[in-house]
Amino acid sequence: MGTITSDQAAEITGAQNWHAVAEAHPERASAMADGLMRGDPLADAVVAEYVAAQGKPGALTWSDVVGALDEPTSPMPAALTQFIEHTSRPPSWFDPALAHAGATAWWRFGSLQSSTLYQSLIYGYQARGFTRPLTETGRLTEGTWDRVQSTARWVALATAPGLMDVGGPGWIQTLRIRLVHALVRHHLIARQGWDVERWGVPINQTYCQFTITAGFLALPLRIAGDFGLHYSQADKEAITHLWRWIGWTMGVDDELLPRSFADAREIDVVAREFRMEPDEHAQTLVTALLADGYRTEVPLPRLLRPMSATINGAVHAVTRPILRPLFAGVSTRWVEPEIATAMGLRATPLRNVVVLARPFVRSREVLRTLGVLGSDVAVAQRELRIVTSQLGLDLTSPDADRYRGVA
């Protein structure tokens, strides 16, 4: 579709000051406006081909389509073949060694980075373009825990050192999610009466850009800094390169992805300048996230593991009244006050728990720098094992289904 006006962009996004931001950042805002009307042609073609073939002899099932990503069959439909061939050829700028370095830097304190997922989701909830697809598909409050776990597993696989290499489990899972996005996009436009002129293309390029660059890259690094975690400039560039590669694999247009950490920070700054007006569903989603977006589990000896569901259920029931207000209060640190209020979050003294955690984080970083905790690679691998075990992932298992069945 052609260029859209600032009035259309403001209506689609709910940004009350789109015109002012567009005046201050004309090139960025123009690209973002255009992205509201663009989906993912490669993935959308796969879904269109799949839908058109349904009911015909020998038609692929959806399991066949996503299964072809790690076990290509022959012959395959043209669009699916083109999709796999394109995504299997990294762009010229991709540097695997730099991406691996970014993954190691990311996982040096992976347990902290994993906890920022809740803030990334809350960040997305302020935008109508994120909440509306959930509303239209009837998943506003259903399956919150499963959605959080699924996203957490994907982030773990995509950011783990080496797993985003072409053919790796992170790469495969990212492509599966990309195809699911295309399927949802087709469903909403073709069957649900989605109004593209008023709402933009569902799961469009601009919201994907914001999600990858602001929600999953810039925001976690900003939160980590608030906790006292230090990244060198080289670390930041390597982490940015990793997320640029993840975004490219996810189908975000190359020109919308950050070339450097400074570029990512600028995208984040522009995104945060927009004064969003969360719709009525944002508060519902945040409430569901705080009510059912986490579980409290304790490690149990082997003899008690058959009763883990009962024991951890009791632990969660006891800790939930404490953790819910803690998560809600802390979340207000990284959300604009008016946005937080619109989403049902209220600033309390609990937001300052972050300050209390800084001495621990900084002390740990001193020990890591001195080599007491082992090499950075060893630290990253240890953190990765801790987080993935909590997510039910076994990265050492030869059984691919143990860690690929996320989407």
The structure tokens listed for 261 are: 């950490």
Within-domain flag for 58: no
pLDDT band at 48 (very low <50, low <70, confident <90, very high): very high
With a cut of 90, say whether residue 316 has pLDDT above it: no
Within-domain flag for 33: no
- The tens digit of pLDDT for each residue in 168-179 reads 999 999 999 999
With a cut of 70, say whether residue 138 has pLDDT above it: no
Within-domain flag for 305: no
- Reported pTM: 0.92
What pLDDT does residue 140 have? 61
* Contact by Cβ (8 Å): 191, 137: no
- The tens digit of pLDDT for each residue in 274-293 reads 988 888 888 888 988 888 87
Coil, strand or helix at 91: coil
**Rounded distance between C-alpha atoms, residue 405 and residue 154, angstroms:** 10
Query: Could you count the other beta carbons within 10 Å of the beta carbon of residue 342?
Result: 20
Within-domain flag for 22: no
Which residues, including other chains, have CB under 8 Å from residue 12's CB and lie 6 or more apart? 4, 36, 128, 129, 198, 199, 200
**Rounded distance between C-alpha atoms, residue 234 and residue 375, angstroms:** 17
Q: Backbone phi, then psi, for 93, in 5-degree steps?
A: -80, -15
Least confident segment among 37-41, 145-149, 165-169, 300-304? 300-304
Q: What is the DSSP string of 261-296?
A: HHHHHHHHHHHHHS-----HHHHHHHHHHHHHS---
Q: In 108-143, where does DSSP find H-type helix?
A: 110-115, 117-125, 128-136
**Rounded distance between C-alpha atoms, residue 106 and residue 364, angstroms:** 15
With a cut of 90, say whether residue 233 has pLDDT above it: yes
Burial class for 326, CB neighbours closer than 10 Å (0-12, 13-18, 19+): middle
Within-domain flag for 295: no
Give the CA count within 13 Å in the CB-facing half-sphere of 345: 33
- The tens digit of pLDDT for each residue in 62-73 reads 999 999 998 877
Within-domain flag for 83: no
Within-domain flag for 318: no
Average pLDDT over residues 41-54: 95
pLDDT band at 394 (very low <50, low <70, confident <90, very high): confident
Q: Give the domain range for residue 385.
A: 97-289+325-404
The structure tokens listed for 252 are: 């975000």
What pLDDT does residue 399 have? 46
Within-domain flag for 21: no
Domain count, the chain: 1
**Rounded distance between C-alpha atoms, residue 381 and residue 371, angstroms:** 15
Burial class for 363, CB neighbours closer than 10 Å (0-12, 13-18, 19+): exposed
What pLDDT does residue 130 have? 82
* Contact by Cβ (8 Å): 15, 21: yes
Average pLDDT over residues 384-392: 87
Query: Could you count the other beta carbons within 10 Å of the beta carbon of residue 1?
Result: 11
